[in-house]
A = this chain, B = another copy of it.
Amino acid sequence: MAEHTVKAFDEDIGRLRGLISQMGGLAEQAIEGAMRSLQRGDLELAAQVRAADKQIDIIEAEVERLVVRIIALRAPMANDLREVVAALKIAAVVERIGDYAKNIAKRVPLIESEHRIDPISVIQAMGRMAAEMVHDVLDAFAARDAAAAVEICERDTALDDFYDAIFRTLVTHMVENPKTISEVAHLLFVAKNLERIGDHATNVAEMVYFAATGTQLADREKGE
């Protein structure tokens, strides 16, 4: 590329990364807010988390417009094109992560406070682990850090084990307290949403790895 185009491209990429990082921050906040509202039965906070999701959608649309402009105007090749396409896909995944957080927030009013205490404490730990994966994978993207990406993929196994344990705990809880089944079923979905958030963070890690190295991480079972 001509020098001025290179500079313009670098600026565009800078803006693109800024948008992704902003989306990631909002998604992380959404997970934390959703889990806190669940813990406290805080319906107002849950409503805020749901409303804040619109902002993530708006930034995703901006990423999309910017990516199209970059490809059309700057005609990036090889590594650069790979990064631009990765940004587009990562934005879409972060938007999904935001949706999962919103979904958790939506369930808060459906879970009666009297039944909340016991299984929820375990889910909180799972929520923290998922939020950290999202945080760290976006750091890895910003730093083009392939090694960090690999490490995040490995953490997903721990999150899956966590989910399996919570699934069993919740089913046992249902069996022992049949009156709570409806509420606990919502908790099952909360745990499932967290597990999906981990899967998506792992997908992002795979894209970061590919954008940074040009090779695929060993083809992994996506967990879905």
Binding site for B on A (CB under 8 A): 64, 68, 71-72, 75, 81, 85, 88-89, 92, 99-100, 102-103, 167, 170-171, 174-175, 178-179, 181-182, 185, 188-189, 192, 222, 224
Contacts and interface: CB of A to CB of B under 8 A. Distances in A.
A interface majority secondary structure = helix
A177 to B, nearest CB: 10
A72 B67 CA distance: 11
B81 A222 contact: no
A192 B189 CA distance: 9
20 contacts: A68-B71, A68-B85, A71-B71, A71-B72, A72-B72, A72-B81, A88-B88, A89-B92, A92-B92, A99-B222, A99-B224, A100-B224, A102-B224, A171-B181, A171-B182, A174-B174, A174-B185, A175-B179, A181-B181, A188-B188
Contacts of A71: 68, 71-72
A102 B75 CA distance: 37
A178 B185 contact: no
A60 to B, nearest CB: 10
Nearest to A81: B68
A109 B64 CA distance: 40
Contacts of A170: 185
A181 B175 contact: yes
Given A71-B72, A92-B92, A224-B102, A167 B181 contact: no
